[in-house]
Copies of this chain bind each other. A is one copy, B any other.
Amino acid sequence: MTNFVPTREDKFSFGLWTVGWQGVDVFGGAVRPPLSPAEAVHKLAELGAYGITFHDNDVFPFGCTPAERDQHLTPFRRALEETGLAVPMVTTNLFSHPVFRDGGFTNNDRDVRRFAIRKVADNLDLAAELGARTFVAWGGREGAESGAAKDVRTALDRYKEAFDVLGSYAIEQGYDIRFAIEPKPNEPRGDILLPSIGHALAFINELEHAELVGLNPEVGHEEMASLNYAHGLAQALWHGKLFHIDLNGQHGPRYDQDLRFGAGNARGAFWTVDTVENGGYDGPRHFDFKPPRTEDMAGVWESAKACMRNYLILREKSRAFRADPEVQQALRDARVDQLAQPTLSQGETIATLRAEDFDPEEAGRRGMAFERLDQLALEHLYGVAG
């Protein structure tokens, strides 16, 4: 057993807005003091993270002048240099200011849409300059509370237009950066456009620069729609579109809880890590959580540390699970290996199938042996296996 202490090789990153969340919600105000970006960088570096990510307005205020922007960026950049922390991902805030009350890229107001695209382009310049390879787009205010307010097909036209324009811009500028769309079903809008991994994957296929655009799926966002996050990751991987991930915790369909990774759906977290580790994803393990409002700053750092620790614990469990000979036998007993064989062999056709003798009654009596397999997985989670 390792001691579960993260190193930079583990590629853990955090959003500035996570440890920096002051606790403002619909029902109450700030419970924690502001956290300066530089302090966040130093503290996260110390805890073992390799990267930090941010929205533009996590570092500098909305609407500030270029000079003010630089002034705010200076200590942040210095902290990055001092710690060697990377900025693997940057994202834009198109949801906090009143101007985005109806979203950015799909706002009914054309001038707001133009402003939103410009704001993202400006931030893309900064992202490129800081060496970020992923640019996340969470369209949290793109949506509607009511049926007539948003013509969805037209909104998707505008959504596509924004990504086409920005994709072209990134190419023209020669930026080595890819976009990652973060789906969410609802909150803060009644229904958000591109509500799940699937919807976003489908949308990307219609883009001019589809190769530049992938996904940034978040645990809680899928689970709010009762969807299986690990299944969603697997489908995104199958399409070659898992560009980034947002790890946190949630208890099913309710408000967006943003619990620390591991809290929430514990078995789901195991399969998440198993899928991330074995599915060919090699990007950052990025945490997008909110330390509960009950905590002070000590609690904030406890929860941040625990995100990484839980990932490492689950990674070790996933490895042990996959290496366990009993598990390997149980996988064969469940014929998981058979699924990897093409259903038809080379040259076979429907006629081949029709010619063959198959007894569905006999086959119908076969058990799948899934319960045994799943119990082994659970015992690995419990730490009582082997």
Given contacts A224-B226, A310-B378, contact A303 B371 (CB under 8 A): yes
Q: Which of A8-16, A34-42, A75-83, A155-163 contacts B (4 or more CB under 8 A)?
A: A155-163
> Contact: A115 with B360, CB < 8 Å?
yes
| Between-chain CB contacts (< 8 Å), 22 pairs | A23-B98, A28-B96, A28-B141, A98-B365, A122-B354, A148-B373, A152-B231, A152-B238, A157-B340, A161-B342, A187-B255, A190-B292, A198-B202, A203-B235, A223-B252, A224-B226, A226-B226, A266-B266, A295-B370, A296-B365, A306-B378, A382-B382
> Contact: A259 with B338, CB < 8 Å?
no
> Contact: A302 with B206, CB < 8 Å?
no
> Contact: B340 with A154, CB < 8 Å?
yes
In the complex, chain A residues 81-110 whose Cβ is within 8 Å of any chain B Cβ: 95-102, 105-106, 108-110
Chain B residues with CB under 8 A of A339: 106, 108, 150-151, 154-155, 158
Interface size on A, residues (CB 8 A): 167
Copies in the complex: 4
CB within 8 A of A350: which of B95, B165, B342, B371? Answer: B165
In the complex, chain A residues 304-340 whose Cβ is within 8 Å of any chain B Cβ: 306, 309-310, 313, 317, 321, 327, 330-331, 334-336, 338-340
Chain B residues with CB under 8 A of A98: 23, 28-31, 364-365
> Contact: A118 with B30, CB < 8 Å?
no
Give the complex CA separation of A279 and B227 in angstroms: 28
Given contacts A28-B96, A151-B340, contact A4 B110 (CB under 8 A): no
Give the complex CA separation of A136 and B145 in angstroms: 28
> Which residue of the partner chain B has the closest CB to A31?
B98
